[in-house]
Structure 1
Amino acid sequence: MSASETKAPFASFEWMMAFRYLRSRRRETFISIISWLSFCGIMLGVATLIIVMAVMNGFRTELLDKILGINGHLVIQPQDSPLTDYDTIAKRVEGVDGVRYVVPFVEGQILASGPGGAVGALVRGMSGESVSKLKLVSSNVLQGSFEGFDDGEGIALGSRIARLLGVVLGDSVTLISPKGAVTPMGVAPRIKSYKVKAVFEIGMSEYDSSFIFMPLAAAQAYFNQDQKVSAIEVYVDDPDAVGQMRPMVEEAVDRQIYITDWRFRNVTFFSALEVERNLMFIILTLIILVAALNIISGLIMLVKDKGSDIAILRTMGATRASIMRIFMMTGAAIGFVGTVAGFILGLLVCLNIESIRQFVSWITRTELFSPELYFLSKLPADMDVTETVSVVLIALVLSFLATLYPAWRASTLDPVEALRYE
C-alpha cells in the first residue's frame, strides 16, 4: 500500500476495509447481531413512517374529496329575507370567474321509516340537473338512476340507510317531518311515502347512512318552502382559493346574505387530523433515532474489537482521517441500505394496502377498518413525494451523524497503547 493510496480520501483500501468490517466472523457474532438490529430498525422505522404518513394523507384527501364532493365550497344563506330569487342569484354567481357550478337546495331533518325500522336522516331537495353535477353521487349509483328525477316524487337513498330501512329499488319509504301543517290543535307532523328511485354509495359511511335526495319541487312542497330554497351551494375550481372568491361571490349576489366556506365548517375536524399527523411524524421518527443509536453502540464495540487492526493500519501509513472515514463508511452503509430497504418496503405496502387490510381481516376474522368508526369504506394511502423524500433524508442524516463519534474514537486511538498487550 503506497503513501498516496493511504492519503487519498475514500481510497479503494478504505472501501475495502469498511465493507470487510461489515462481514461477520465467528468471534464478532455479537457485533454482527447489533449491526443487523440497526439495519432492521432503520428499515422498519423508515417503512412505518412512510406508510403511516401515506395513510394519514390518503385519509385526509379522501375525506376532503367526499366532504367537498357533496357539500359546497361556499354556502349562501338568507339573512333578511327568504331566497325566493334563487334562480337569478344562481345565474349571477355562475358567471363569476372560477365558479364551477351553483346548486340551490332545500334541506330538512326527518325520520325515515321502512320495513326494517326507522332512522333519522337528512333530506336534501335538488333538481335533477343539480344532482347530475354532483359526480360523487350521480356516478356511484348502485340501483336505479337519476333519469327523470324531476318528473316524479321518487327519492334517492344512501346504501347504508337503505339497508337499515330494509328497502330496495321500487319500495316505499315513509318520511316524517315534525314541521307539518298548522291546525287548531297545533302543528301536525307531516307524513308522506315516497318510492325509492335510486340507491347510491359514496363510500363515506356518514353520508351513505344519512342522506336522502328528493326532487326540488317535491322537497319545497314537503317542507312548506313554496318558491324558496334553504341555501345555495357554490362549487369553485380551487377549493383552497375560497378566501379570494368570497368577495366576488358577495358582489354577484348583491343582497343581504350570510356566506360560510368549507374551511369554517370543518375547521375542528381537519385541525385535529393535522395535529395527529404531525405528532405521528415526530413519534415515529424516534424509531429511526433508536436504530441510529444502535449503530453508535455497534460501531463503538467494533472499534474496541478492531483496536489492533487500527494500530497496524496507522503504522502502515494510514492517517487519522482515513481511519475515521473507514468507520464512517461502515456505519453509513448500514443506514443507507436500511433506508433504501425501508423505502422499498413502505412503497410496496402503500401500493397494496387495501389488499393487505383485507388479507389481515380475513386471517384474524376481524374488521380492521370499520367504516362506522373511520367514515371511509376503504383504507386509503397517498404517498406525498416531498414527505417521502424528507423521511429518507432524515434517516440518512441520522445514520450519518451516528457514525461520527465512534469514527472519531477510532481515529484518536493510540497505536502504541493498542499494540502493547497484543
Structure 2
Amino acid sequence: MPYELFVGLRFTRAERRNHFISFISLTSMLGIALGVAALIVVLSVMNGFQKEVRSRILGVASHVQITGLDNQLGGWQAVAKEAAEHPQVAAAAPFVNGQGMLTFGAQVRGVLVRGIAPQLEEKVADIGSHMVAGKLEALAPGQFNIVLGSELARALGAAVGDKLTLIAPQGLVTPAGILPRLKQFTVAGIFEVGMFEYDSGLALLHIEDAQKLYGMADRVSGVRLKLRDLFQSREVVRDLIGRLRADVYVSDWTRSHANYFRAVQIEKRMMSIILSLIVAVAAFNIVSTLVMAVTDKQSDIAILRTLGASPGGIMQVFMVQGALIGVIGTLIGVAGGVALAFNIDVVVPWLE
C-alpha cells in the first residue's frame, strides 16, 4: 500500500485536536449525501413523469401519422400497405378527423371528431384500456354510436345510453341556403386517458359513420402507424417520406406533441443543474475541511518531511482524506436516494 494512502486513511481516523474540523467534515459528507440523494430522487420522479405523460399521450395518439392534403387521403389502402412494408412498422389503421359541435339538452360543446376502425385502432393506440364505461367495440358501422372523453361527457351531462346531436361544419346546399349536417348519436362508451386535452375535446365514431357525416365517400384523413420501437420514429418518418407518394404529410409523436416533451426536458435539465450546484457547494466545503486539516496537522507534516516525504506526497495524503469524505458521502446519497425513489409513492402521501 502506498504510504500516501496509508497515512491519509490514518489521518482520517485519527482524533483531531480541533473538533470543529470533525464537524465540518461531517457536514461536508452529509451535504454531498443530501445533494446526491436529491438529484437521484428528482431525476427519478421526472423520468417517471415523462414516461407517464408519454404513455397517456400514446393512449390516444399514434407513433407515426400519415395525412393527406386538405385532410383527405384517397387510396389509403395502398398507402397503408406500402408503409406496413417498413421493418419498423407493426400495425396501421385509417382514421377520419373533423370538427363538430355536440349538443345535449341545453349544453353545447365543440369537439374534435375522430372516426376509427375499432379492431385496427386497438393495434396502433391503447385507447381500449382507458375505457371507464362501455366498450370501444360498440362502435359499429351504421349504428351511429359515439364514445366521449370523460371531461366532455361530464360537461355535457351525458352518460352511456344517452342520445346526442352532432353537428358538422360541412353544410348541405339547398334552395333555402346552406344547412349544417347533423346526426343523432348514442353514447356507447366513455374513456379517460388523464390528458385534459383529449378527455375534454375528443369524440370517437366508427370510421364509416364519420365518412358519411363529413361526405368523404371512401376517403380518409390519414393513416396511423404503430412502430416496434417508438424511439425510432424520426428515422421511420425520414424513410417513409422517401418511399411514399408526394401528396402526403408524415409526422411522428415527438413532433405532434413536442411542447409537452420539450417542457419536461427543460425541467429535467434545470433541476439537474440546480441540484448539481448543491453538490458543488458541498464539495467546496471539503476544500475548507482540508485547509483546516493541514493547519491542524502542521507537526505531523513536519515529521513526514523529516522522514523524506515530498511536498507532492504530503498533498496526496490530504487528497485521500478529501476523496474519502466525497466517496462516503456519495455512497450514502446513492443508497438513500435509491431507497427513497423506490418508496416515493409511500413517502409523499405520508408527508402530505
TM-score, normalising length: structure 1: 0.72
9, 17, 39: which one aligns with 2:11: 17
Counterpart check, 1:85 vs 2:80: no
Counterpart of 2:54?
Answer: 64
Q: 1:308 matched to which residue of 2?
A: 299
Q: For residues 209 and 71 of structure 2, what CA distance do their matches in structure 1 show?
A: 22
Match of 1:143 in 2: 133
1:8 aligns with 2:3: yes
AA of the residue aligned to 1:216? I
> Does the Cα contact within 8 Å between 1:111 and 1:176 map onto a contact in 2?
yes
For residues 175-200 of structure 1, what are the alpha-carbon distances to aligned partners after superposition, in whole Å with 9 as ceiling and x for unaligned? 33333333345433344332221222
Cα drift, residue 295 of structure 1:
1.1
Output the CA distance in 1 between the equivalents of 2:120 and 2:282: 55
CA contact (8 A) 1:99 1:236 kept: yes
Contact 1:161–1:209 at 8 Å: present in 2 too? yes
1:208-241 superposed Cα distances (whole Å, 9 cap, x missing partner): 2222211111111222223221122222223343
CA distance in 1, matches of 2:257, 2:118: 27
Matched, 1:337 2:298: no
Closer/same/farther in 2, CA of residues 314 and 74 from structure 1, 3 Å limit? same
| Alpha-carbon distance change, 147 to 109 in structure 1, aligned in 2, over 3 angstroms | same
Q: For residues 228 and 357 of structure 1, do their structure 2 counterparts lie closer, same or farther at Cα, with a shift above 3 Å needed?
A: farther
Q: Among 223, 227, 230, which residue is 2:221 paired with? A: 230
Higher strand share: 2
The residue that corresponds to 1:289 in the other structure is: 280
Report deviation, 1:267: 4.1
TM-aligned CA distance change 1:119 to 1:345, over 3 Å = farther
TM-score by length of 2: 0.85
AA at the equivalent of 1:8: Y
1:404 equivalent in structure 2: none
Higher deviation after alignment, 316-325 or 163-172: 316-325
Structure 2 CA distance for partners of 1:308 and 1:113, relative to 1, 3 Å? farther
- Check whether the contact 1:116–1:167 (CA below 8 A) recurs between aligned residues: no
Q: RMSD between aligned alpha carbons?
A: 3.1
Q: CA offsets, 1:162-182, max 9 Å, x none?
A: 333333332333333333333
Residue 46 of structure 1, aligned match among 22, 36, 40: 36
Kindly state the Cα deviation for residue 105 of structure 1 after the two structures are TM-superposed. Answer: 0.8
Contact 1:150 1:216 in 2 (8 A): no
Deviations 1:219-272 (A, max 9, x none): 112222232211222222233434543465457654632333334434455344
CA contact (8 A) 1:18 1:326 kept: no
Give % identity.
37
Tell me whether 113-122 or 221-230 shows the greater mean CA deviation. Answer: 113-122
Is 1:299 equivalent to 2:290 in the alignment? yes
Mapped pair 1:353 → 2:344: yes
Separation in 1, partners of 2:308, 2:247: 87
Q: How far is the alpha carbon of 1:71 from its aligned partner? A: 2.4
Match of 2:89 in 1: 99
Could you tell me whether the CA contact under 8 Å between 1:96 and 1:252 is conserved in 2? no
CA distance in 1 between partners of 2:219 and 2:66 (Å): 13
Equivalent-residue separation in structure 2 for 1:359 and 1:137 (angstroms) = 33
Query: What residue is the counterpart of 2:115 in the other structure?
Result: 125
In structure 2, distance between residues paired with 1:116 and 1:58: 41
Helix, strand or coil at the partner of 2:219? coil
Q: 1:214 to 1:321 in 2, by over 3 A?
A: same
1:314: how far off? 4.8
After superposing the two structures, state which structure 1 stretch, 197-206 or 215-224, moved more. 197-206
Q: Is the 8 Å Cα contact of residues 158 and 212 (structure 1) preserved in structure 2?
A: yes
SS in 2 for 1:178: strand
Q: Which moved more, 1:315-324 or 1:343-352?
A: 315-324
* Range moving further from structure 2, 40-49 or 29-38: 29-38
- The answer to whether the 8 A contact 1:112-1:120 is kept is yes
Q: Secondary structure of 1:100's partner? A: strand
> 1:297-347 CA deviation, whole Å, 9 max, x = no partner?
122223223333444555577665554344223222221121111112221
Task: Supply the distance in 1 between the matched residues of 2:153 and 2:269 (Cα, whole angstroms).
Answer: 38
User: What SS does structure 2 have at the residue aligned with 1:150?
Assistant: coil
What is the match of residue 30 of structure 1? 20
Flag structure 1 segments of 5+ consecutive residues without an equivalent. 364-422
Residue correspondences, number? 351
| Cα pair 1:74 1:234 within 8 Å, conserved | yes
Unaligned runs of 5+ in 2: none
